[in-house]
Chains A and B, each alone.
Chain A
Amino acid sequence: MPNEIAFILIAVFTVACAVAAMTRRQLVHCALFAAAAFAGLAALYLQLDAEFVGFAQLMVYVGAIAILIVFTVLLTRGDEVRSNRSQSSPSWLAGVAVAVLVLAGIALPILLSPALWHAAPVATGAPVKRIGEELMNRYVLPLEMVGVLLTGALLGAVVIAMREEPAVKPPSRSLVPARAESEEVVNLR
């Protein structure tokens, strides 16, 4: 019973945070609510005896991705300041309708299939040692590929987001001292 209560609390928290993350106007609020939703999911993983995954989720999503999103929001703040037009796309109603249809499409079969209502077997957990052994034996190829992918993503992200030094410096930056000097000269004359 305590387990059920904990599940309901965490689930309500996660869903509420997810809804807030998708509907708030302030992008920073959205990002922080998303981080809270990710933390709620980590709690659910812990509740499902997947300790390692839960902590990894907390570390990657709250510690890295949420921070990344927040940084991006701050670096692209011009939008927020400039536009006061609607934040939802013109066809948002259709989108939400499709989402509701998707929900119905998934939830109905779940509710109708009795095989899914059995209780969980006795927990065996996922000890960290076993995860490590599996990663090094059976899943070593995916592991290597993820390593390559992460390195590629790191380099790619840096290259994409790097500010390209323009071949000719933009006039607004390089001409400022020159103009100031010429004005001074004029004033002196």
Chain B
Amino acid sequence: MKGLDQIFISTQHALAGLAPAPLQPLVSMVLIIACLMSVFGACFALTTILERKTLGRMQNRFGPNRVGPFGLLQPMADGIKMIIKEDIVPFSADHALHFLAPLVLTVPIWLAFSVLPFGRNMTAVELDAGILFFFAIGSASELAVFMAGWSSQNKYSLVGAMRAVAQMISYEVPLVLSSVPVLMAAGSLSLSDIVQAQSGCALGWLPHWNVFTPWGLAGFALFLIAAAAESNRCPFDLPEGESELIAGYLTEYSGFKYALFFLGEYLGLFAVTGLAVTLFLGGWQAPAAWLEWVPSWGWFAVKFSAIIFLAIWIRATLPRLRMDQLLNFAWKFLVPLALINLLVAVAWLKTGTWRFPAAAEVRWLLGASVLAIAYVCLGRHWNGPAPRPRQYSYAE
């Protein structure tokens, strides 16, 4: 079991050992990069087809099922189509920025994968401030989206880009705020340490994952909502709301650049999902000791796929928000709830020394009830009073 758990690490060491000694660090680096890029590239291809098929099933239809067995070769067909399409650049566009924007979007997201622990000892770069690196790298994508929208010289692109940037900035606040309690609990910014801090079991059966604490559960929900908004997923996909903005900042993109944006969007989803798994679901930890025969990367993959499926499920269910609802939701509901969650987490960590019987249950109930009350109160009022009947100036 140990061998299977560490199979990637030992393979990497064996392959790097074949190279001459001075080149070994370089070879192992290239191996890691190639592995990450191929795994998540394949993941991207697979997710596009599975997402379309799942969406179809949820909407009473088959998804794509024509290319290859069960339509599984559809991503190849899509890729070929994207590559051989003509790459049209508008005449009045800012050509350099128009060219750079997809790269600036995609490259940092690849970098973000380097700090995620995919399994035991399977972190590409052990950074002391891993999560800070993750968020810092993620902030580049806002600039890329703006570059794409502005350089296209198209009003739909510009409006879509402004929306996207406003949305990303707004939702970055709850995203970071909801992950702060985890950092407090682990006492570290390093993602490997955060996973390590979630090992073991409470009460003998409940894994020590953050999601099983009241603040962790609320934080997980907040994190997923903010993550969906950060990666422009439904129901927060209004930067590219095709019903009003054609395709938002993607309007003037075609061919391979469009595919790069598409790739960047999915990779952003993967990265932030991997972070959610790491922060709240115990990373690569098995849920119970007797399940540890499954390799650690297997557990990561299971949790990862579960969250991706949740994202697809939500996409199939919810309609798109309106812009003002979106920003109100972030600033009037998510941010206050995240702050209250922070306080609950502090109280939880401070009461960790309680030693009377059933202390854990009391702490749980107290924390959960504070959060529930906050949720109900904020939920009642986040959208203001009920909307007035609409007044038409010109109709009728």
Contact = CB atoms under 8 A, between A and B. Distances in A.
Interface residues of B, number: 28
Nearest to A52: B129
A55 B132 contact: yes
A11 interface: no
Contacts of A127: 128
Contacts of A39: 140
A18 interface: no
A35 interface: yes
Given A74-B162, A177-B393, A63 B97 contact: no
Interface in B115-156: 127-129, 132-133, 135-140, 142-143, 146-147, 150
A56 B140 CA distance: 13
Nearest to B165: A67
B132 A67 contact: no
A128 B147 contact: no
Interface in A17-45: 28-29, 32, 35, 39, 42
Given A67-B146, A67-B169, A74-B162, A62 B128 contact: no
A56 B150 CA distance: 26
A59 interface: yes
Given A28-B150, A55-B132, A55-B133, A64 B188 contact: no
Contact of A32 (B97, B136, B393): B97
B165 A51 contact: no
B390 to A, nearest CB: 15
Given A51-B127, A51-B129, A70-B146, A128 B139 contact: no
B31 interface: no
Contacts of B133: 55
Contacts, number: 69
Contacts of A125: 128
A140 B195 CA distance: 29
A47 to B, nearest CB: 15
A52 B138 CA distance: 16
A118 interface: no
B162 A67 contact: no
B340 interface: no
B394 interface: yes
B129 A67 contact: no
Contacts of A85: none
Contact of B139 (A59, A70, A129): A59
B236 to A, nearest CB: 18
Given A62-B143, A67-B146, A55 B188 contact: no
A128 B186 CA distance: 13
Given A125-B128, A127-B128, 8 more contacts: A55-B132, A59-B132, A59-B136, A63-B136, A63-B138, A63-B139, A63-B142, A128-B129
Interface of A: 28-29, 32, 35, 39, 42, 51-52, 55-56, 58-59, 62-64, 66-67, 70-71, 74, 125, 127-129, 177, 180
25 contacts: A42-B136, A52-B132, A55-B129, A55-B136, A56-B136, A58-B137, A58-B139, A58-B140, A62-B140, A63-B135, A63-B136, A63-B138, A63-B139, A63-B140, A66-B143, A67-B143, A70-B165, A71-B162, A74-B150, A128-B129, A128-B189, A128-B190, A129-B187, A177-B393, A177-B394
